[in-house]
Amino acid sequence: MPIITKTPEPPYYAVIFTSIRTEGDYGYDETAARMVELAKQQSGFLGIESAREDLGITVSYWTDIESIKNWKTNTEHLEAQNTGRKRWYSAFKVRISKVERDYGM
Amino acid sequence: MPIITKTPEPPYYAVIFTSIRTEGDYGYDETAARMVELAKQQSGFLGIESAREDLGITVSYWTDIESIKNWKTNTEHLEAQNTGRKRWYSAFKVRISKVERDYGM
């Protein structure tokens, strides 16, 4: 069952990662799974949601901007970012945003 | 070809819509396509990115919060939201967020 992240009352942060993959795996699936596991261990991590068709969208949620900065500079994550730029993605965009309001059912 | 939205320099707004679909179409595909067309006509609309696997994620981008409020109360959109709650989604979450920083390649 897919799960929508249970986030706290706003404000909190969302990192919107939109990407277009190159062809071929080159270790992508394994690293992507590892990065999710590693992110879950980080301070301030709230959850992650992901879907890919032609375009991939991954949104991770964080309590504060400092936690996002720490995750961005995590050594193993830096290595993955580097391979991402060189091999896995033909284009990507990272957007760091502050969630001001939310609702749902 | 999938396209990553060309957004202006931050700040701008992102509406992150995460959803889980019920089974059956019930006019969903047609309305979803119509809503994208209608959104594109709205003042302040910057673009939209979408992907669905088990979970659906649609992120629309807007210049300001007023434009988001106007879109939310658009008559045809209100009707779609209503059907969404009743028929198309078993769960969803809408998060309104202010993009503070972005980068990519």
Is a pLDDT exceeding 80 seen at residue A67?
A: yes
pLDDT on residue A73 = 97
pLDDT tens, position by position, B14-38: 999 999 999 999 999 999 999 999 9
Is a pLDDT exceeding 60 seen at residue A95?
A: yes
Beta carbons of B68 and B15 less than 8 angstroms apart = yes
Mean pLDDT on A48-64: 97
Of B54, B57, B105, the CB nearest to A59: B57
Residues A20, B2: C-beta atoms closer than 8 Å:
yes
The whole model's pTM is what?
A: 0.97
Residue A11: cis peptide before it, omega within 30 degrees of 0: yes
B3 in A contact zone (CB under 8 Å): yes
Instruction: Tell me the ipTM for this assembly.
Output: 0.96
Residues 6+ apart with CB under 8 A from A55: A18, A19, A20, B2, B3, B4, B49, B50, B51
Which has the closest alpha carbon to A65: B58, B91, B40, B101? B101
Chain A interface, best mutation among B3, B16, B29, B103, by max A CB count within 10 A = B16
pLDDT on residue A12 = 98
Query: What are the tokens at B98?
Result: 């202010």
A52 in B contact zone (CB under 8 Å): yes
Mean pLDDT on A74-80: 97
Of B54, B93, B98, the CB nearest to A104: B93
pLDDT tens, position by position, B61-88: 999 999 999 999 999 999 999 999 999 9
pLDDT tens, position by position, A41-54: 999 999 999 999 99
Beta carbons of B52 and A51 less than 8 angstroms apart = yes
